[in-house]
Amino acid sequence: MDEQTTQTSPGATQPIPFKAETRQLLDILIHSLYTEREIFLRELISNASDALTRMRFEMQTDRNVLDPDAELAITITCDPNANTLTITDTGVGMTSDELAENLGTIAHSGARAFVAAASEGAKNLSDIIGQFGVGFYSAFMVAEWIRVTSRSYLPDTGAASWYCTGNDTFTIEPAQKIDRGTAIEIKLKDDAK
């Protein structure tokens, strides 16, 4: 069993530990950017826009995709009673393996460069966070937990859900989602309402 595998039996999941540099990144984002917490929304919308751009590109070369006629859109909804904010897109989506790769590790050099810049006291980290590919993690500044539910544009793939409280582990499990794209649900901390 490799470190990204979450299935122990059908329907069962077990926590997967973040790599050490991911934990370091989360600590920096949560504590160093605390005064500019609203940047998370800019970063998540930017990621959703990128997913739409990639979908548009895929559709130019291949119409054999899930929901080929779905409108390319980003939707932001909130539920004041549940204290949640959800950013949904109809872009390329992700498989469970892609969720683990893209959200469970920051092995990319850009993330390490961001951690180095933050450690060296770089100014205006909120202005440069998107350049390093770690903007998604900024949502943990305002989140009690984050659930990312996604379904790839590839017709023969199922949906999956990634869940994390910002601590040392995350989980990935099968999900119910019939349409293509990604929904990021954030349970806001009380002081982020």
Assigned CATH for 17-192? 3.30.565.10
Asked whether residue 156 carries a pLDDT value surpassing 60, the answer given is yes
Are 129 and 43 within 8 A, CB to CB? yes
- pLDDT for the residue 193: 85
The set of residues, in sequence order, having a beta carbon less than 8 Å from that of 50 and lying 6+ positions away, is 91
Cα–Cα distance measured from residue 167 to residue 182, given in angstroms and rounded to the nearest whole number: 22
- pLDDT of 23 > 80? The answer is no
Would you state the pLDDT for residue 73? Answer: 98
Please identify which residue in the block is written with the tokens 């009673």: 81
- Nearest C-alpha neighbor of 36 from the set 124, 166, 113: 124
Record the pTM. 0.79
Query: Is 56's pLDDT higher than 70?
Result: yes
- Average pLDDT, rounded, for the chain: 80
Q: Is the pLDDT of residue 86 over 50?
A: yes
Per-residue pLDDT tens over the stretch 100-139: 888 876 545 455 565 666 666 655 555 544 444 567 888 9
Residue 53: per-residue pLDDT:
94
* Per-residue pLDDT band at 36 (split at 50, 70, 90): confident
Question: In 3-state terms, the chain is what percent helix, strand and coil (to 5)?
Answer: 40, 25, 35
Residues 6+ apart with CB under 8 A from 106: 19, 21, 22, 25, 112, 134, 137
**Paired residues of 150 in beta bridges:** 160, 182
N-terminal to C-terminal alpha carbon distance within the chain:
40
Write down the domain spans for the chain: 17-192
Q: pLDDT tens digits for 158-174?
A: 999 999 998 888 999 99
